[in-house]
Amino acid sequence: MSVLINDIEVVKTETSKINDIDFDNLKFGQVYSDHMLVCDYENGAWKAPKVMPYQNISLEPSAKIFHYGQSVFEGMKAYKDADGGVWLFRPMENFNRLNISSKRLAIPEIPEAYFLDGLKTLLEVDQDWIPQKEGSSLYIRPFVFASGTGLHASPANAYKFIICTAPSGSYFSGKVKVLIETKYSRSANGGVGYAKAGGNYAGQFYPTQLAIDKGYQQVIWTDDTSHEYIEEAGAMNVFIRINDTLITSPTSDRILDGITRKSLIDLARSKGINVEVRKIKVSELVEAAENGSLKELFGAGTAAVISPIAGFGYQGKDYELPELKETYASSLKKAITDIQTNKAEDPFGWRYKVL
Amino acid sequence: MSVLINDIEVVKTETSKINDIDFDNLKFGQVYSDHMLVCDYENGAWKAPKVMPYQNISLEPSAKIFHYGQSVFEGMKAYKDADGGVWLFRPMENFNRLNISSKRLAIPEIPEAYFLDGLKTLLEVDQDWIPQKEGSSLYIRPFVFASGTGLHASPANAYKFIICTAPSGSYFSGKVKVLIETKYSRSANGGVGYAKAGGNYAGQFYPTQLAIDKGYQQVIWTDDTSHEYIEEAGAMNVFIRINDTLITSPTSDRILDGITRKSLIDLARSKGINVEVRKIKVSELVEAAENGSLKELFGAGTAAVISPIAGFGYQGKDYELPELKETYASSLKKAITDIQTNKAEDPFGWRYKVL
């Protein structure tokens, strides 16, 4: 039996799984809330979204998602404050980027109301799934994929837009060491690197596994032409602190326009930190590590928030970062999570109240 | 109820669709045979494959195929000769390339027997679906995708290997005009371009649609660094005939090692045609078109076989190919399809008898 919430059809589960979940020991993205939002594209239009119990999807083997990787996604988080208020962080940025990604992958763009009202309704229905504990949040995964069939390599005529959510703890555990990659590449000039396209991630798994086998957790990608310039870390953008200047690469058609990245640039500047958005040579990083001017290296992304990097490998040599008592990484992480979780003023207007 | 054929468990459909199919008017990859082969990877091993009725696949919304594009595929064809004999063309090449692709995408490799015995059994069960009409064949689509769940961007712990088949006519209809692309790119140095990875195809859809809107059918990709060199056409490798020399680009980590491509190189050489495998500048193609030495341009791939190109666009200008009476494209197409369909001797040992 369905009810209408915010004019959206909602079918509630009869068997909630919430009591099976250990909210004190959450991993990242491994348990899913009771409901999901589903929206179908058929006959040239997106149909009205529905909230329904989290359940399996049934597809023909000839559905194009299985063959041609036609999919895009987003990553967001919902936070619950001390008073039980529920917040999102810059959701319109995710909405806009989802459609930018979709356009590049020849996927029809989603109407704003279906995305935002759909998400708000889903969060209302599953509000008890949003963790309140510090460091935890409800990870939100909107994704769109080709459900239409056919073995011709061309765009599908049917798609599914789904949002599922997962109460989650931190993305990385322990110290993060990264390998600066000079053989494999993440993306091409004129390619899909700026889009959150599924295929961008699968292509990183093998080189990342090779790095893990060598004792690193992540790869920092360099440009595919010269391998001289630092790009991004695949699941994170990268920030480098040399002396008291924070440097990050400009976005391009190869680099994701990270929402945490651009928020940190604004936050750091508002704290009086000198931020340079410019291309960075690996040689500059290495030189700074050698002469002691390299103070910090960290990744930034929705899933990982800010992930300090303890060391990096490059061309067979390992470089350690100094262990500072006070870091930009920790002060910026506190500043952004305080805004996200309604513990601090929000001079930028980034916080978005859901409930 | 299941039976054993070639030691493989087979569950036959009770309701064949074969009488609904118009075998005289087949399109490409739009109708599927009654059965499919399914093989699951779980707990670190591929389980024995099964043949079962073609049916929907049920997956959790958190299955990694929907999020991270972790999938690879192959394209093959089965041919039925005048005596009802059933043939494949160089199937071990497809098997080997599937595993090369899988390795790059961090997908566990398939055992040879599961692939080959599985495919033979599937073809035996669905042998009535193999068209005998000239220009038609049974298109075979082996594919592997991540069925394991989790929102962490890392390889799945479960996969499905499926083979489905589709009685098919030709891939292209009518004259093919191509656009030489100089803005968008298909693949990066050090990327996954040499693999038949799903994401390689989705990334081409939007630029191809832009080309279609301008009156072309396909894009010829150039290298992403300089856009000066001809790479491949996405669903086909490219051959250029200048005077009496046939030229094709060498394979690389950006270019698919096409089975039709390498077969044509051998076939052409056996006919005494001078074949050069070397990098080709777009400027060389344009110059040859302008001075009249450009005789032919064609694409080569399993789906399209050989697809003559009638003209190409480059930087806003269109170039027409001459209409020759006797072309390398048509003589090579006849030679390769005669071998594939058991109408000619097979000095290379490419043909593989299934039934």
Which residues 221-280 on chain B approach chain A with CB closer than 8 angstroms? 224-225, 227, 234-235
| Cross-chain residue pair A188–B188, CB shorter than 8 Å | yes
In the predicted model, what is the mean pLDDT of residues A27-45? 97
CA-based nearest distance A350→chain B, Å: 25
Whether A347 is in a domain gets the answer no
Which residues 37-66 on chain B approach chain A with CB closer than 8 angstroms? 54-62, 65-66
Residues A159 and A182 reside in one and the same domain = no
| Cross-chain residue pair A151–B145, CB shorter than 8 Å | no
Residue B296 · residue B321 · CB < 8 Å? yes
What is the structure's pLDDT at A228? Answer: 98
Query: Is A191 in CB contact (< 8 Å) with chain B?
Result: yes
Whether B95 is in a domain gets the answer yes
Residues A94 and A243 reside in one and the same domain = no
| Cross-chain residue pair B203–A202, CB shorter than 8 Å | no
Strand pairing category for A57-59 and A45-46: unpaired
What is the structure's pLDDT at A257? Answer: 97
| Cross-chain residue pair B153–A201, CB shorter than 8 Å | yes
Query: Is B173 in CB contact (< 8 Å) with chain A?
Result: no
Q: Percent of chain A, pLDDT > 90? A: 97
Per residue of chain B (355 residues), what is the pLDDT tens digit?
899 999 999 999 999 999 999 999 999 999 999 999 999 999 999 999 999 999 999 999 999 999 999 999 999 999 999 999 999 999 999 999 999 999 999 999 999 999 999 999 999 999 999 999 999 999 999 999 999 999 999 999 999 999 999 999 988 777 899 999 999 999 999 999 999 999 999 999 999 999 999 999 999 999 999 999 999 998 899 999 999 999 999 999 999 999 999 999 999 999 999 999 999 999 999 999 999 999 999 999 999 899 999 999 999 999 999 999 999 999 999 999 999 999 999 999 999 999 9
pLDDT one-digit tens code per residue, A256-308:
999 999 999 999 999 999 999 999 999 999 999 999 999 999 999 999 899 99
What does the CA dihedral A267, B152, A238, A283 come to, rounded to 10 degrees?
170
CA-based nearest distance B107→chain A, Å: 9
Which residues 210-229 on chain B approach chain A with CB closer than 8 angstroms? 224-225, 227
Residues B83 and B142 reside in one and the same domain = yes
Give the C-alpha separation, A335 to A332, whole Å.
5
Strand pairing category for B294-301 and B57-59: unpaired
pLDDT one-digit tens code per residue, A166-225:
999 988 777 899 999 999 999 999 999 999 999 999 999 999 999 999 999 999 999 999
CA-based nearest distance B245→chain A, Å: 31
Query: Is B101 in CB contact (< 8 Å) with chain A?
Result: no
Identity of the residue in B58, B164, B204 whose CB atom sits nearest the CB atom of A58: B58
Whether A146 is in a domain gets the answer yes
| Cross-chain residue pair B32–A62, CB shorter than 8 Å | yes
Whether B155 is in a domain gets the answer yes
Residues B35 and B160 reside in one and the same domain = yes
| Cross-chain residue pair A202–B66, CB shorter than 8 Å | no
pLDDT one-digit tens code per residue, A95-108:
999 999 999 999 99
Count of CB atoms within 10 A of residue B269's CB?
12
Give the C-alpha separation, B21 to B36, whole Å.
17
Identity of the residue in B29, B168, B199 whose CB atom sits nearest the CB atom of A203: B199
Q: Among residues B168, B190, B206, which one ends one of the domains? A: B168
Which residues of chain A does B106 touch, with a Cβ-Cβ cutoff of 8 Å? 202, 205-206, 209
Whether B245 is in a domain gets the answer yes
Give the C-alpha separation, B327 to B45, whole Å.
49
| Cross-chain residue pair A150–B29, CB shorter than 8 Å | yes
Place of tokens 């692939």: B115
| Cross-chain residue pair B235–A153, CB shorter than 8 Å | yes
| Cross-chain residue pair B185–A188, CB shorter than 8 Å | yes
What is the structure's pLDDT at B26? Answer: 95
Enter the ipTM: 0.97
Q: What is the CATH number of the domain that holds A325?
A: 3.20.10.10
CA B345 centroid distance within chain: 24
Residues A10 and A157 reside in one and the same domain = yes
Which residues of chain B does A73 touch, with a Cβ-Cβ cutoff of 8 Å? 66-67
CA-based nearest distance B183→chain A, Å: 6
Identity of the residue in B151, B192, B197 whose CB atom sits nearest the CB atom of A141: B151
Say if residue B250 is exposed, middle or buried (CB neighbours under 10 Å; 0-12, 13-18, 19+). exposed
Residues A87 and A124 reside in one and the same domain = yes
Place of tokens 């990709």: B221
Query: Is A202 in CB contact (< 8 Å) with chain B?
Result: yes
Residues A158 and A227 reside in one and the same domain = no
Identity of the residue in A65, A183, A205 whose CB atom sits nearest the CB atom of B106: A205
Residues B208 and B103 reside in one and the same domain = no
Query: Is B3 in CB contact (< 8 Å) with chain A?
Result: no
- B334's CB contacts (< 8 A; 6+ apart) are none
Kindly identify which residue of chain A lies nearest to residue B29, measuring between CA atoms.
Answer: A151
pLDDT one-digit tens code per residue, A43-96:
999 999 999 999 999 999 999 999 999 999 999 999 999 999 999 999 999 999
Q: Where are the alpha helices (DSSP H) in B25-147?
A: 65-68, 91-104, 112-125
Amino acid at A83: D
Residues B44 and B132 reside in one and the same domain = yes
Identity of the residue in A68, A73, A235 whose CB atom sits nearest the CB atom of B201: A68
CA B254 centroid distance within chain: 16
| Cross-chain residue pair A145–B198, CB shorter than 8 Å | no
Domains contained in chain B, number = 2
Residues A194 and A277 reside in one and the same domain = yes
Which residues of chain A does B126 touch, with a Cβ-Cβ cutoff of 8 Å? none
Q: Among residues A106, A137, A168, which one ends one of the domains? A: A168
Kindly identify which residue of chain B lies nearest to residue A147, measuring between CA atoms.
Answer: B66
Residues A86 and A210 reside in one and the same domain = no
Q: What is the CATH number of the domain that holds A164?
A: 3.30.470.10
Which residues of chain B does A100 touch, with a Cβ-Cβ cutoff of 8 Å? none
Which residues 116-145 on chain B approach chain A with CB closer than 8 angstroms? 139, 141, 143, 145
pLDDT one-digit tens code per residue, A304-340:
899 999 999 999 999 999 999 999 999 999 999 999 9
Q: Among residues A119, A137, A168, which one ends one of the domains? A: A168
Residues B221 and B329 reside in one and the same domain = yes
Which residue range forms the structural domain that includes residue B212?
Answer: 176-340
Whether B278 is in a domain gets the answer yes
Query: Is B79 in CB contact (< 8 Å) with chain A?
Result: no
Whether B183 is in a domain gets the answer yes
Whether A290 is in a domain gets the answer yes
Give the C-alpha separation, A68 to A264, whole Å.
35
Tokens of B183: 């803005």
